[in-house]
Chain A
Amino acid sequence: MNPCLPPCHLAVGLAIGVLLAVPTVTPATTLLIRDATVHTVSGPVLNSASVLVRDGRIAAVGDLGQPAAEEIVDGRGLHVYPGLVALTTTLGLTEVEAVRATRDTTEVGAFRPDVFAWVAVNPDSELIPVARANGITHAQTVPLGGILSGHSAVLQLAGWTVEELAFRRLGALHVFWPSFDLDHTPKEKAPAPDRWKSVEDQERDRDQRLAALDSLFAEAEAYQAARGNHPPPVLPGTATQRPAAGAIPAWEAMVPVIRGECPVFLHADGIREIRSALAWAARRKLRAVLAGGRDAWRIAEELAAQKVPVAYEHVFTLPPREQDGYDVQFRAPAVLAQAGVPVSFASGLDRFAASNVRHLPYEAAQAVAFGLSADEAVRGLTLNPARALGLDDRLGSLEPGKDATFFLCSGDLLDLRARVLRLWIEGRETSLESRHTRLYERYRQRPVPASP
């Protein structure tokens, strides 16, 4: 479906920068990686093992002898990992954070179930190849703003068009739990006295926001009960179907959530917000994933009992409480994993996070320095996030039948110095070039200038 890039593409350089972002080359129908250290994730780490790929899927993993394959890659001294899955990013929705024209992250309105991230993803974003070059093959792209911000998509970081990138258009519904913080500033010191509210009023507002959220879900349940299971919900961009008469887009968008087909990401960091969100999710019997989760370590047992996975975004943010220790957020993933919570690493939704999605493995490595096992750390980059998204039938581990989406690494992924050498998505080798490598190649060749 896509042309093979000419081998001279580096020399063509920036003049055709967009074309150079073309991610994949024609796949061999069979591919064998052999004699590598294979991190299966679902099973043990296999030394000197092979991975056989057929038609974009993993056909076999292990000591496979010498099977025939159109392409054979010698993996001696190298490591194979399943592609990394980055939860909670804004990849594709933002380019240069300070330039408003390049930001499509944040819609207005408090409750917007019918906003879908995938429709606004820029397939030619320069940020995508940069993330991919460090082993990220899939990223969840999240809409921001308000309380219920809409549906994220799961992107596969290779493809020509937005439809090709959208691996899963309905990734999850996103609820940003209203903050419990109360502003105790006295009115006379308030920066905007006309908008000042008493603590009591703020408490009331806080309760009302939660009531409004709950009410929205109750309404959605009623809608689903009235419309029944057929036809399936019709959502924007799916041109092959027409909505049933009387369908209301916003409520249609809630249908997959109410049916439990689509997880709900509850974004909460403080312990109060986390507790409140979890209690609500349990009562509503939602397929909940806790995102952010700064203080989740404090209730690790409860999370484990409630089987709520955590997308932990705070390894590298600063801890808010002195008495928790300088390293509390370095240790948090270990505490959660110890209690049996499936932890994924996520770089979060802060302003500059999208350009730094490639740092994801370093968060896992930091957690390893502070007590997490290496296996759990790798799981937190692969299988755990795939499961949180309900995509573990295709992603997250090296097992027969799953997508042939993996990469070869010069060393242990958890050692920052290791380099990603080659990467395949659904069996197609994908370029590791980026704006960074192009500029590097160009300027390292700059001749030493003559003295002025």
Chain B
Amino acid sequence: MPKPRSSGRALRALVLAVGCLLPSLGSRAAAPLDAPGFTPRFAGYHALVNATVVPAPGIEIPRATLVISNGLIASLQSDGPVPAGARAWDYAGLTVYAGFVEPYVAQSLAVAAAPLASGDPATDQRPLADEDLGPRFFGVPGQERDAGSPGPGAFTRRVTPELRVATLYTPTPKTLESLQELGFTAAHIVPSDGLIRGQSAVVSLGAASPNRAVLRADLAQCVGFDPGPTDGTVPAPYPGSLMGAVAVFRQTFLDAAHHAATKAYASGHPEAGLSPPFNAAWDALRAVTAGQTVLFDAGSVLMMHRAAQLARELGLNHTAFLATGQEWRRPDLLAAIGGPFILPLAHPALPKIAQAADWEDVSLDQLRAWDWAPETAALLERAALPFALSTHGLTERQEFRKNLAASLERGLSRSNALRALTLTPAQLTGLADRLGTVEPGKLAHLTVVAGDYFNPTSRVHAVWVEGVPHELPRPRRESPVPSQTATNATTQTTSTNLPPFPRPALARVARAPLDLRGPLQRPAAVLVRHATIWTCGPAGVLTNASLLIRQGRIEAVGTEPADAADGALIVEGNGLHLTPGLIDCHSHSAILGSVNEGTIPSSAMVRIEDVINSESPEMLRQLAGGLTVANLLHGSANPIGGQNAVIKLREGAPPDGLRLPGAPAGIKFALGENVKQANWGDRQTTRFPQTRMGVPTFFANRFTAAQRYRQALQARQTDPSLPPLRRDLELEALAEILEGRRLIHCHSYRQDEIVVFLRTMESFGVRVATLQHVLEGYKVADEIARHGAGASTFSDWWAFKMEVIDAIPYAGSLMRERGVTVSFNSDSSDHARRLNTEAAKAVKYGGTTEAEALRFVTLNPARQLGIDARVGSLERGKDGDFAVWSGHPLDTRSLCLQTWIEGHQYFERAAQETRTQALREEHTALLAKARNARTGGTAEPSAAARARFFQRAWESASHLGVVDCQDCVLQRRP
């Protein structure tokens, strides 16, 4: 009913002041009169009587009289009178809750793709959206796969912050009804496509016109991290990886800020003659700067955590998060994320698996996800974090109530469940003053249930939306419930006297993953004695020696008999060998999503640190091979790859806890077949460079751009009156290289490309930190040594592609003889488990001494990574990182018994077996539970719910080995 909001406020004041005195008369006089032929308007004056009203969680008013007038709640009283003129509704036996608010309904605002260019480089010079910015490295004009926003906007059509649900909201009766049936009276409609998706709106779920339905426009700017195209475009447009999606997010917000600053500058300095271009995307993001909420659909708990950090970096103060239901993986991070959370109750269901044998291959991770899902709400409740419950992800929305019941069985309290349906989503949507409780003055949004909502068999009888009742059709086969005309008050059920739930509570069998991870021992001090110690430092190999570590640092190492320091844990090393923790200078383990942002030739803006997968099982396997430090690198799909991250394998720690503080920043570069797309199939032939001729050309171009960028930065330091400079994340990383603040780790094979690359970088005054792989490095070892680059190579891989046909296993020894600092890396989640025997190959091929060979996987990689002040050798003052071996560390028949990082024991063989045993028992118990549940006669789950069983979280998707390769591009591209 049209009525100015101000009169509603006046009404509220009236009600509060004098109670209920025919409050509708005044507004009825002002109501418009419909023309003859229209059904006359209803008065909108109602009294619900004899209902049990739950005005807010934990409060219950029996036999209540609830008066509604003009869409607002006028009064609420136990046994109150029915005002004259109000239409009375006998709600005996019914429970009335504040109208539920659905916090997340996805709506596609898909923008038609801008037509791609003709592809003829000779003629195609069509301007594109945001043509001056964004990564324009596609090689030759017309090769873009994403022409950007169809009108003025961002460089990719997946960045559309200017889109508004409020202008495009078109509810379908089916959606409305399916939400009403669950008791929802309002919903937060959220754009669902792309990276920066647009602005959401809160709507009433009534039948009113879209104009009236919108309660609040532009509530939140919605951000997702879905990598890659959704339409199978080949070649894929940027960004094509999770880390690329994060980079686009950061750059876009920086660009918006820059745009605003430039506009301000232009108006303050008319003499500068600046005319900042019109850009709807950036203009829309000014709302965020002004306090609009940013709602992240981050896709996983680790990425939610990262999103929260990025939001702080960018100064985004109001955030909300779409949870995944897999927060059990890392509940310790939830407090740091903070919320509020929107938790979809889209639980996975057990799939139909015909053959018993097929169950044996159902993974522990899948079973855990299934068993944990109903407990996610309780997890958030225990952490005292705000959350709202959603039907998002449920193709069959009626499963919501079943899943809600399951959540209650698994520890969600009823009052928090109600809060999560009412007050919290009302607060989250900024409508707490109008929704969320049954209070005079609030909108008459009510959810009316025949009984207790939390019993899934209790039917939602009606929802009231802004004072308009929507009675819901009764399913045919349902037993009769008290109708609104029934007066038998004795049939009332109250929420304190529940019928039993239709299925037995199934307690959780799955463990919290963190229970079986993390350090085994954390002594303040540890003393290893009577061991053979390979120091890898100047002291060489010490027999019958001791190592004392206190507070994580090496206090003493030597053959002097060491006394057990007070309280130190003693490790008897009789017959055992000790080495520094091994260091892998080239790893792709423990990365979320693709290791390549291979869509563009320079992806210097992407960072591995955004996507460290602390949950990877690779970490344990590698610890069990004595590894303690890994250099996580971007792949080699492009000449300039992404920024690396050096981690310690502190299994169990979250991503931040893995990073090695003080490790110099670095970046991956690459040469040769991969960057010229030689093995990518016949369709990938248009990106620059396509030959080894073009590779140095590309570097020279980007470093020249970086030099200019630096000059522009410096100019602003000396002259602050210059117009603001756009912060360019790609050039920023390259400028850091020019300033000596970022190390280059360059994938390389052939001798010609190696020498030319070194010369190219010398021309920019840059020393290359490491040449990675560098399989023909032995042919130009003198040139490499003179340049001062390290060589981080494979021990003996060869012949897997044309450019490695001349690789030889003697290369490590030969380069070392010529004065190059050599390391052996893994580039493989397998080899990373046994770098000690990789090192032994330098002894076998080329006769490197044993002590020196061991340095190939300890001190030398530490030097190459600039972390040798802390790790790489067992010397006083360095980190207490070491591995204990059953015998000579270069003997294939020896095995690693213990691995320690900073004086904490992270691996010990017997203890690991105990943990493994526990995992085995858990898996068996979960399979048994699944078997019982399948024969338990519960309702058939939907196909969609069963399909969810096979959905993998980001954290576990990389378990599937997709990033495990010797040479990532080669294997990832069939």
Contact = CB atoms under 8 A, between A and B. Distances in A.
A318 B829 contact: yes
A416 interface: yes
Interface string B777-789: 0110011001000
Interface stretch (A71-79, A156-164, A444-452): A444-452
Contact of B782 (A271, A275, A369, A449): A449
Given A326-B620, A440-B808, A98 B360 contact: no
Contact of A318 (B621, B895, B970): B621
A272 B357 contact: yes
Given A271-B360, A415-B893, A325 B913 contact: yes
Contacts of A414: 892-893
Nearest to A97: B800
B961 interface: yes
Interface stretch (B72-80, B105-113, B262-270, B915-923): B915-923
Interface in A122-170: 126-127, 130
A322 B891 contact: no
Interface string B308-341: 0000000000000000000000000000000000
A374 B779 CA distance: 39
Nearest to A182: B358
A436 interface: yes
A111 interface: no
Given A96-B801, A322-B617, A419-B844, A443 B892 contact: no
Contact of B679 (A98, A203, A415): A98
Top 4 A-B residue pairs of the complex, sorted by shortest distance between their CB atoms: A365-B892, A98-B801, A355-B799, A323-B919
Contacts of A127: 799
Contacts of B830: 316-318
Contacts of A355: 797-800
A366 interface: yes
Contacts of A255: none
Interface of B: 232, 351-355, 357-358, 360-361, 363-365, 617-618, 620-621, 624, 673, 678-679, 778-779, 782-783, 786, 796-802, 805-806, 808-810, 814, 817-818, 829-830, 834, 837, 840-841, 843-844, 846, 886, 890-895, 912-913, 916, 919-920, 922-923, 943-944, 946-947, 949-950, 961, 964, 966, 970-971
A204 B357 CA distance: 16
A374 B892 CA distance: 12
Given A369-B886, A416-B892, 11 more contacts: A96-B801, A186-B944, A191-B232, A322-B365, A352-B799, A358-B796, A362-B892, A366-B834, A369-B894, A417-B840, A443-B778
Interface centre among A130, A362, A417, A449 (most CB of B within 10 A): A417
A297 to B, nearest CB: 14
B697 to A, nearest CB: 21
A368 interface: yes
B963 to A, nearest CB: 12
B814 A440 contact: yes
20 contacts: A95-B799, A96-B801, A96-B805, A97-B799, A127-B799, A184-B947, A186-B943, A189-B947, A271-B357, A318-B618, A324-B916, A352-B797, A356-B797, A365-B892, A366-B834, A369-B894, A414-B892, A416-B890, A435-B808, A440-B846
Interface in A184-205: 184-186, 189, 191, 199-200, 203
Contacts of A271: 357, 360-361
A131 to B, nearest CB: 11
B427 to A, nearest CB: 34
A186 B947 contact: yes
A99 interface: yes
B890 A96 contact: no
A98 B364 contact: no
Contacts of A369: 886, 892-895
Nearest to A434: B808
A448 B784 CA distance: 12
A9 interface: no
Contacts, number: 164
A417 B617 contact: no
Given A95-B799, A416-B844, A417-B891, A185 B947 contact: yes
A119 interface: no
Contact of A98 (B353, B800, B949): B800
Interface in A351-382: 351-352, 354-356, 358, 362, 365-366, 368-370, 374
Contacts of A272: 355, 357-358, 360-361
Contacts of A200: 354
Contacts of B778: 439-440, 443
A351 B971 CA distance: 9
B357 A443 contact: no
Given A362-B892, A443-B778, A99 B840 contact: no
Nearest to A328: B916
Contacts of B351: 184, 199
B922 A326 contact: no
Contact of B358 (A180, A324, A358, A448): A180
Nearest to A191: B232
A435 B372 CA distance: 56
Interface centre among B364, B678, B809, B946 (most CB of A within 10 A): B809
B621 A326 contact: yes
A327 interface: yes
Contacts of B797: 352, 355-356
A370 B895 contact: yes
A354 B799 CA distance: 9
A95 B365 CA distance: 39
B358 A417 contact: no
A270 interface: yes
A181 B950 CA distance: 13
B799 A203 contact: no
Contacts of B893: 365, 368-369, 374, 414-415
A321 interface: yes
Contacts of B916: 323-326
B624 A327 contact: yes
Contacts of A324: 916, 920
B250 to A, nearest CB: 29
Contacts of B805: 96, 126
A362 B947 contact: no
B912 A325 contact: yes
Nearest to B943: A186
Contacts of A322: 363-365, 617, 919
A418 B840 CA distance: 10
Interface centre among A316, A323, A446, A448 (most CB of B within 10 A): A323
Given A180-B358, A417-B843, A417-B891, A318 B964 contact: yes
A417 B802 contact: no
